[in-house]
Structure 1
Amino acid sequence: MKAVFMLLIAGSLTLNAQNKIPVYLDENKPIDERVEDALSRMTVEEKVAILHAQSKFSSPGVPRLGIPENWMTDGPHGIRPEVLWDEWEQAGWTNDSCIAFPALTCLSATWNKDMSLLYGRSIGEEARYRNKNVLLGPGVNIYRTPLNGRNFEYMGEDPYLAGKMVVPYIKGVQENGVAACVKHYALNNQETNRHTVNVVVDDRTLYEIYLPAFKAAVQEGDAWAIMGAYNLYKGQQACHNQYLLNDILRGEWGFKGVVVSDWGGVNDTREAIFNGLDMEFGSWTNGLTEGASNAYDNYYLAQPYLKLIKSGEVGTKELDEKVRRILRLSFLTTMNTKRPFGSFATEEHALAGRKIAQEGIVLLQNKNNILPIDLNTTKKILVVGENAVKMMTVGGGSSSLKVTYEVSPLDGLKKRIGSQAEVLYARGYVGDASGNYNGVVTGQNLEDNRSEAELIAEAVSMAKDADMVIFFGGLNKSNYQDSEGRDRKELELPYNQDKVITELVNANQNLVYVNISGNAVAMPWVNQVPGIVQGWFLGTEAGNALASVLVGDVNPSGKLTFSFPVKLTDNSAHTPDGNLGAATYRFPGTKDEVKYNEGLLVGYRWHDTKKIKPLFGFGHGLSYTTFEYGKVAADKKEMTTDDKITFTVNVKNTGSREGAEVVQLYISDLKSSLPRPLKELKGFDKIKLNPGEEKTVTFTVDKEALSFFDPDKHDWVAEPGDFEALIGASSTDIKSKVKFKLK
């Protein structure tokens, strides 16, 4: 009503004869009616104007009608600091320091949909408070290779898990009147040549591996926006792609929302008009090249589109469809007077981030029960590694953040342990001493001019005198590591960390390695190091979360969402198998083309089917307690395609402390007319159990869980025959199985 009042004062709006407000401003009317009413009042120029950006992160509304601008913000891990109107440089605000939430790899590793909802609600509140109505996230591109620099922003290698975890996130964000913009649709699985590479993938692999999470986001999550990808598919840019956007997204899935381009992802006006794009944003001020004086008027969906309309070369049917979708977005967000006000940089959000981080941390190896740290006997702890002190919220690309604070692993340990034990620090290695990204400056001085030999010698000398050594290593968010724009060059740890770890464990066998990364790394010393923890990028509360798990205040319950290969060639995108073509051709391919010749066999599907033992398998994660699985049972031996079948299994906590276990259901098709992976995840449940407590876990599946995509029929097929349900603690730790038949 405030918008109506202001428009009446300005004289640009008059009430109708019945003294009623216009339909488009009446929130009691259905959105479709409001959209049509607003559309009927707009000029062609106003319609074209709302299709494209007016600044780095905003697009125009319709001031004459009181329809506000749209303001985007980068997620998916926190609300990006304000930049200048036309540039990436910082705007210099003093009140835009946010809470950084854990990276999405950590969120998915919780295997807990409640944590996903909490995440979405919290970050949605932060976006709403900052008056952003579109959050550019979450990301659900599939983890195809451990070298993808952007994997840390995604949800792992399994399409079923990613689909189940993305839906609550979307719902949580959109409860705040903020649109989730799910990205990057589709097949954006590498940063190398991302603007030019055409992905060659068969239909079956596309539908079974790379599309299900996006489909879930649309049909189950009701996402209000989708972001296109940079790469090409079938020779067309993904941001204006007939097959992906018109045929599948809108045609097959019924998507009603807005398709937003990735920044600078538009390359052709006519394709953008006809192939499903709604809103164009760009990396430079004109979306094409740097520094044009008439800026946003030069966008593909700006003056070039308007000229085609006015010359009669194209009609306005597609224009009206785009505007309808953008107006709908406005009525759901900026024009919704009932949406909450949000909150920003609060303690509540910081604690939510810590809770998610604690649930996502994965205990990979725990020989001799080296963890949790026994503070009764451990009185001197040596912390080694640059990642123990380096801020990880700055850098990495568009998810780089300016935060209110960030607790380092070293500070988190010192705070938690206090006077119970002495905590010392040695650098061990120098990685990237810089702390400046896009004008956000950490203020850390990590310069160290000592030689590699001197740094190692210091750490080894101190290790000999310590009760325990904790090495915080892994990757960082610098170029060619976990960072947008460039892929990793190798699976091995950077900065010669392997040498440091080897020398440390030779000096002190009580060594725990904490891997800070969003990707798998090689661990040639795995048999010598008793304790290994996957520590992710955990955001604002990183150090506190890690300390709580290391000392045992929190029992770890995270599980891996991607496989750790022993060596790079054990990953299907890098295997030298002659039948699949040269490894360099499959990843990263040439400048113009990459072939997904491994097909369906991504991640654990490859390891299982080819009998290649991973370093740590998909779904793996240990606990400080132990769990005993009973035998899985089915409620029937046969089911029909319009029926369901239910599996039950008892799980008991046989240890001495409370813990949570992720019970996983895999389905195996024992005989199929088309090749299928050995097994596929089709259900999971995270349960908490007190010592001695036992619970029954139930999974119910229908024909969808048994189906594969038949490219000849272009449809999902549940083929009659014999199947097997497998219950496991991970893909490599199957506890029991039961056969059943589909009639």
Structure 2
Amino acid sequence: MTIRILTLSLTFLFSICGYSQAQIYLDNSQPIETRVKDALSRMTLEEKVKLTTAQSKFSSHGVPRLGIPEIWMSDGPHGVRMEILWDSWNHAKWTNDSCTAFPALTCLAATWDPSVSYLYGNAIGEEARYRRKDVLLGPGVNIYRTPLNGRNFEYMGEDPYLASKMVVPYIQGVQRNGVAACVKHFALNNQEKWRNHINVEVSDRALNEIYLPAFKAAVQEGKVWTIMGAYNQVRGEYACHNDLLLNKILKKDWGFDGTVISDWGGTHNTREAALNGLDIEMGTYTNGFTSNVSAAYDNYYLASPYLKMLKAGEIPLSNIDDKASRILRLIFRTAMAQNKPFGSLANDEHHSVARKVGEEGIVLLKNSAGLLPLNAAKYKKIVIVGENATRKLTEGGGSSELKVKKEVSPLEGISNKFGKAKITYTMGYASGDVAYDKVLPPKYNTDSLRTVAIKLAQEADLVIYVGGLNKNSQQDSEGDDRKSYELPFDQNQLISGLQQVNKNIVMVMLSGNAYEMPWLNKATTLIQAWYLGSESGNAIANILSGDVNPSGKLPFSFPVKLTDNSAHAFGEISYPGDSTNQYYKDDILVGYRWYDTKKIASQYPFGFGLSYSKFLYGKAKIDKTSIKDNDVLTVTVPVKNTSNIAGKEVIQLYIHDKKSSELRPEKELKAFQKVELLPGEEKIISFKIDKSSLKFYSDNKKQWVAEAGKFSALIGSSSRDIKSSLDFILE
């Protein structure tokens, strides 16, 4: 009865406002394409053009005359950003916009578990829905090419297959809440230095094999509703209005029916923006650098200048009809969606998801002395050293900054787990305050901090070092790249000093990037813990105590030294470029493809991660030794937990092409599976291989090719730890 009365009331309201039942676009029972066509037919040219530009920092226009609402957006991808003022970048200082901080996407990728990615996406989607956001600006899937990239922590690692498998469920989780995911930054935004103008030159093969697959999966498998363009240029055209990327690849080849949104200020030209695939222009600074001028938003490239060109016949009307249709489709999927949920914000369930992602993604890199898991009763005096034990790592980092309802620091989590009475904390090192696009000096004397830390360590039974990078500019932050592969703030000197006075040191490193480890040979225990968000301290404490068995695997390789990395092996023209152009001379050999093909030892390889359990890989089997075009080959391998501790292992399948007409990497990841095994339990893991798993993109033929010949299926626990090799033939 209540629903019926509401329906009658709305019908009456629409009738007195000039609406009628013939206005199909208001009818949620109609197919979206029917509604889009109907709404488009009722709009003026001016109303259509209005849809394509911002009306505030984080919203774009609707059509008030027709009751079509505007679109509201929020930064992600690790949480829903605090409210920003309508017309400036200042925080609005609301009291009801605190969120859950979820772990950074490097940590999500390190879980190697698509089901966890879905939980993550759904939880952040619920928070965005509660905050009445229509578009969440994330996730990011740009490939990890250099460990200096300031924004790597927002992305999903160096391998296109892993990123593809992890991004799809994230999108599905977000969009089930009536919120559009916005996959970014399309494409080749693999550095922050000179990001606003650097022109990237890359082969078709590297583009298709390395840098596009995760975006393609987002579109064709995840059915993502929006894509964000990148700041940089690609082959001489800005990515936010790039004919190759947006028109030919995204919309034509992949069949993307959603909306392309510019990065904020990423638009540079009206004609190119109109013709080369951009749909919504956000954040452009009027007249180049000024803002808040009279009618500023009307001066955007896709606003008054675009309308003028349409009226003059310089751009066909079909162009604006396509853009308006895509934007209407987005509005009907989100702001005007039927039966969309209410969402929820910063509750216990979301904090539980954040903790689970952190626990599943933390990577145990070294445990040679068997210190872990920690036996709390064994140690009477524990010293925790490191600024990151108390620093709020949800602040800073650029647009991924968050205002959180809860953030458990590593110090708090460890103290609660092992007992506050036996724990002493000291900073050991210090960095400056958070400031975007500038580096502030520390407020403390570094030498004094180090001296105190070493003295306390000398008297302790156990030292837990919590260091790494942070979210300051020139660290893991938007806007610029790191200046060095070393740990910042004289940490190497501090760690060396600690190692000289105490052998019982548990190293817990928080970062979204790899770093140099000159102290590694003397280290007995090392944990890569990422940026873990609201439940950081609890997740770390659960791993240290053994309440949770570590199961994360590295989503990118750790080079021994920077010049071992592929982007840096060819000189500055390959990274960071000459400030105008940059040439990806490493081509398809990115990450482990480079190290394994060139036989370069990495500090820690892609896919590596230890456990408190021990796993035994049995003899792998293959069901056939040759396949044809439509055949599917099955590989099986028994994996047994030979310890008395339940644990999870990630079994990885790589393909090696024994002979090819064009260069191929030594191996390529083509399947993986995370499996939980009880003590003494054995499971048979099964993988399917078909012709698509064997293909490469031929620069010569300009198409995907699978050449007949001999291949090997490699089963391993990392790219360098191969347990079985099985040969087969593609006929």
Give the whole-Å Cα distance in 1 for the aligned partners of 2:399 and 2:446.
Answer: 32
Relative to structure 1, is the Cα distance of residues 697 and 403 closer, same or farther in structure 2, using a 3 angstrom cutoff? same
Relative to structure 1, is the Cα distance of residues 454 and 321 closer, same or farther in structure 2, using a 3 angstrom cutoff? same
Deviation at 1:592, TM superposition (A): 1.1
Q: Which amino acid aligns with 1:474?
A: G
* Aligned-pair Cα RMSD in Å: 1.7
Match for residue 252 of structure 1?
Answer: 253
Identity percentage over the alignment? 58
TM-score (norm 1): 0.95
Q: Which amino acid aligns with 1:426?
A: T
Mapping for residues 224-623 of structure 1, pairs under 5 Å: 224-282=225-283, 284=285, 289-418=290-419, 422-432=422-432, 434-435=433-434, 449=444, 451-575=445-569, 580=570, 583-623=571-611
Q: Which amino acid aligns with 1:96?
A: D
Give the whole-Å Cα distance in 2 for the aligned partners of 1:233 and 1:4.
Answer: 54
Relative to structure 1, is the Cα distance of residues 592 and 8 closer, same or farther in structure 2, using a 3 angstrom cutoff? farther
Give the whole-Å Cα distance in 1 for the aligned partners of 2:19 and 2:108.
Answer: 50
Structure 2 counterpart SS, 1:573: helix
The answer to whether 1:9 aligns with 2:3 is no
Structure 1 counterpart SS, 2:245: helix
For residues 5-56 of structure 1, give each alpha carbon's deviation from its aligned partner in whole angstroms, at most 9, with x where no partner exists.
Answer: 568537675465xxx3521111121111110000000000100001000000
Give the whole-Å Cα distance in 1 for the aligned partners of 2:335 and 2:51.
Answer: 14
Q: Which amino acid aligns with 2:629?
A: T
The answer to whether 1:109 aligns with 2:113 is no
Deviation at 1:515, TM superposition (A): 1.0
Relative to structure 1, is the Cα distance of residues 540 and 446 closer, same or farther in structure 2, using a 3 angstrom cutoff? farther
Moved more, 150-159 or 274-283: 274-283
Contact 1:394 1:437 in 2 (8 A): no
Give the whole-Å Cα distance in 2 for the aligned partners of 1:45 and 1:698.
Answer: 57
TM-score (norm 2): 0.97
Deviation at 1:284, TM superposition (A): 3.9
Give the whole-Å Cα distance in 2 for the aligned partners of 1:377 and 1:282.
Answer: 57
Deviation at 1:634, TM superposition (A): 0.6
- For structure 1, which runs of at least 5 residues remain unmatched after alignment? 439-444
User: Which of 608, 620, 628 is the aligned partner of 1:632?
Assistant: 620
Deviation at 1:66, TM superposition (A): 1.0
Structure 2 counterpart SS, 1:585: coil
Give the whole-Å Cα distance in 2 for the aligned partners of 1:12 and 1:297.
Answer: 31
Give the whole-Å Cα distance in 2 for the aligned partners of 1:631 and 1:212.
Answer: 32
Moved more, 583-592 or 492-501: 583-592
Moved more, 701-710 or 453-462: 453-462
Deviation at 1:437, TM superposition (A): 6.5
Deviation at 1:286, TM superposition (A): 7.3
Deviation at 1:376, TM superposition (A): 2.5
Structure 2 counterpart SS, 1:661: strand
- For structure 2, which runs of at least 5 residues remain unmatched after alignment? none
Structure 1 counterpart SS, 2:55: coil
Give the whole-Å Cα distance in 2 for the aligned partners of 1:5 and 1:121.
Answer: 33
For residues 152-188 of structure 1, give each alpha carbon's deviation from its aligned partner in whole angstroms, at most 9, with x where no partner exists.
Answer: 0000000000000000000000000000000000000
Q: Which amino acid aligns with 1:301?
A: L
Mapping for residues 68-87 of structure 1, pairs under 5 Å: 68-87=69-88
Aligned length: 725
Match for residue 44 of structure 2?
Answer: 43
Give the whole-Å Cα distance in 2 for the aligned partners of 1:280 and 1:355.
Answer: 37
The answer to whether 1:26 aligns with 2:30 is no
Contact 1:12 1:64 in 2 (8 A): no
Moved more, 666-675 or 704-713: 704-713
Give the whole-Å Cα distance in 2 for the aligned partners of 1:21 and 1:545.
Answer: 55
Give the whole-Å Cα distance in 2 for the aligned partners of 1:470 and 1:3.
Answer: 62
For residues 282-317 of structure 1, give each alpha carbon's deviation from its aligned partner in whole angstroms, at most 9, with x where no partner exists.
Answer: 154777533422210000000001111122222211
Relative to structure 1, is the Cα distance of residues 124 and 541 closer, same or farther in structure 2, using a 3 angstrom cutoff? same
User: Which of 682, 690, 694 is the aligned partner of 1:706?
Assistant: 694
Give the whole-Å Cα distance in 1 for the aligned partners of 2:289 and 2:469.
Answer: 33
Contact 2:435 2:472 in 1 (8 A): no
Give the whole-Å Cα distance in 2 for the aligned partners of 1:611 and 1:507.
Answer: 37
Match for residue 441 of structure 1?
Answer: none
Give the whole-Å Cα distance in 2 for the aligned partners of 1:411 and 1:214.
Answer: 39
Deviation at 1:405, TM superposition (A): 1.8
Match for residue 202 of structure 2?
Answer: 201
For residues 688-709 of structure 1, give each alpha carbon's deviation from its aligned partner in whole angstroms, at most 9, with x where no partner exists.
Answer: 0000000000000211110000
Deviation at 1:452, TM superposition (A): 2.8
